[in-house]
Amino acid sequence: MSHTQANELVAMLQRGEITLRELKGITEEEMAAGVAAGREIMARGAHQAAAEVLSCLALYDPYRPDVWQALAELMQRERSPDQARLFAGLARAMA
């Protein structure tokens, strides 16, 4: 990849025209599996590990409402209502 191509990809990321998920070639199915894994980890009570998985997924594709909804549910379990409302709002905005 040339320097010019790399700069254009960075510019596209900054403009929101492409996500890290798309850039890395991660499929919708792989993202859905990641969300399912994060939810399973959360269900087992490993909230910190679930937060790490789900927050990474949010970085890779911040436009997926299912990731934000899972984070909202995690924050409800963690008794962080302000964060839960924030993430639920993001989920609604991305839907």
Please write the tens of the pLDDT for every residue from 16-73.
889 999 989 999 999 999 999 999 999 999 999 999 999 999 999 999 999 999 999 9
Q: Are 53 and 34 in contact (CB under 8 A)?
A: yes
* Structural domain spans, the chain: 26-94
- The Cα–Cα gap between 32 and 9 comes to 25
State yes or no: pLDDT of 12 exceeds 90: no
Tell me how far CA of residue 60 lies from CA of 45, 78, 82, in angstroms.
24, 23, 23
- What topology is assigned to 26-94 in CATH? 1.25.40
Task: Please give the pLDDT value at position 68.
Answer: 97
pTM of the model: 0.86
Task: Please give the pLDDT value at position 50.
Answer: 98
Task: Please give the pLDDT value at position 19.
Answer: 93
Residue type for position 23: L
Task: Please give the pLDDT value at position 63.
Answer: 94
Backbone region of residue 25 per phi and psi (left: phi > 0; alpha: psi in -120 to 50; beta: other values) = left
- The Cα–Cα gap between 75 and 48 comes to 11
